[in-house]
Structure 1
Amino acid sequence: MKQLDNLDVDSFDYRFGHDAFKQILLTAPVAITITDTMGNILMVNPCFTEITGYSEDELVGKNCSILSYKTTPENVYNNLWATISNGDHWQGQLINKKKSGDLYIADISISGFRNENGESFYYAIHKDITEKVQLQTQQKNQSAMFEAVLNSAPIAIALIDSNNKVLLSNKLYQDLTTNLGEPPIQLLRKYLKFDHGYDSIDAFMGTKQKHSQGIHINSTHSSIDRWFDAAFAKIPVTDTAAEAYFHPTDEFYTVVGITERTKEKRHLEERRVNAIKLMASDNKYVHAMQEAMMATLHQLQGPFNMIESAVNMLKKTITLAPV
């Protein structure tokens, strides 16, 4: 005798009666059908008629193929019938058509059973998962678009949790990781620790929602100094763990944007050096002009002295001449 939670079927029937099974079937929140071995519908529950739009009278006696639609591949049906014909359980998705002509994606679970007379039947549980699949597809599309936008950004971007674990990153971040020889987040943490005394990015952020910091590092692949600007922004997220279902808690993720400023820094440094050189060059030119002028003045001083002496002598001569 088949057991059900240590209670045999006869005992269950004696205690609850056949009406209990019928009541469970009719009030089940999922669509249920019972068919013969040829797929002819013998019974449907109200949830099934609600999903398909057909009444019970329109379905009973009809083959379950009344719901089939041509976009379901033939090999799916072949696999279905081969599985249940062998006495195995089958579960999969079919494209079905409602009475209105609207299509829906049905997640179907089919198993066989026998009655007291040994006759074979199938019972199937149907779920309309159209909205679920559409939502998953939309999320997949949004994820693809988000990834495309993220990878087209002109800066390296990473999303980290409170433990500084990188949850996602764009291509520039990954390229920068390869170029630097280690993850940029790790280099940021080292910089904040050694230069500012912060043990983590979260500690560096404190209560601020946004923060920024200029970073100067040396690459492990090169001795060349490199400069970066890092921008930080906190994002509140809700804990998705099962134990947090009744007591949801919020934590913060941090978006980190990294822009390399090495070329700009070197360009500015070159301009500063050139300006100093130009100033030094200008000073040398002015100094040279001064020396040239002094030399010219010195050379002119002799004739000026001679002229002055001649004038003085002429004055004396005029003074001594008889009237």
Structure 2
Amino acid sequence: MKWMIYGAYGYTGELISRHAVAEGHKPVLAGRNGEAVRKLAEELDRDYVVVSLDEPGALEAALADMDLVIHCAGPFEVTAEPMIASCLATKTHYLDITGEISVFEFAHASHKLAESAGVVLCPGVGFDVIPTDCVAAQLKEQLPDAIDLVLGFDSSSRMSRGTARTGMRKLAEGGAVRRGGDVVNVPLAYHTRKIDFGNGEKCAMTIPWGDVATAYYTTSIPNIEVYIPASPRLIKRMKRMNWFRWLFRFKPLRNMLEKNIEQQPAGPDEEEREKAVTYVWGEAKNGKGDSKSLRVKVMNGYKLTSQGAVDVAMHILEQRPAPGYYTPAKLCGSDLIDRYKIE
């Protein structure tokens, strides 16, 4: 089977590429920066393709003999749609590492097209959203009549530049939760509460994490919120930001902030990825007030992404699931998280 990693030379794309080759796989590396992709391909002794998402004809030609692509070039709200369109045209299975709600919603809306094309669409095959998606699925198994689902995670790891850029771009949109089955836009730090994610109780606030979309398609639970730890000071700052977050729609401000982000390290180094763990928590409740909770400790998010993306790719190529849209837990089972647990 022939498969591609697109955006292979980005911070996370390179981690995935290196892990795949270390596991004995032979992906074709691809991206629009010819020098960057050539350099990495030569180091890893892999074939490579230089192609831009802005050239549909060239992209389809590059994907024509590919069985699957792991798409790693964000921001995915911009790049996912053209890649998915080319994958549908060339009958190429599509994976990505997004955490953006709009991308999950778009992929889900493309389910019938994917079925007709014989293609699997499974965005979010990294830390966004494998562990939280699996926790959601396991809670649904424990409490089948749940109507409320709350998920969260606590990580000491620094963000990559790509994640920081995506977060900055999304500030203008505020937060998001799911209510009655629909994604609803809400203010930043919309809800706050104290949560023990697995390493002691902390203040936490809601964030527009990908599970607001995916956990619903995994569990059918209609009300979903996602939390991360946040100091009282940060919570106050985020609430104040609601008054002027519209400013982040202006391109000059975004360009200035992106330049600042580019001055930061690409992401956590190897030592930090090995040391920094992530605590994942979830709680489900039904209409009678019964509840179930679950806590899991997993590896650093970027390390998990490098392994998870390859694991899901191999699952598709080896198991040949029915075509259509999937979440990671729906595709690979809720026990997928077991591969990334830390005792």
The verdict on a shared fold, with TM-score over 0.5 as the criterion, is: no
TM-score range for the pair, normalised by the shorter chain length: under 0.3
- Which structure would you say has the larger Rg? 1
Identify the structure with bigger relative contact order (alpha carbons < 8 Å, sequence gap 6+).
2
TM-score normalised over the length of structure 1: 0.17
TM-score normalised over the length of structure 2: 0.17
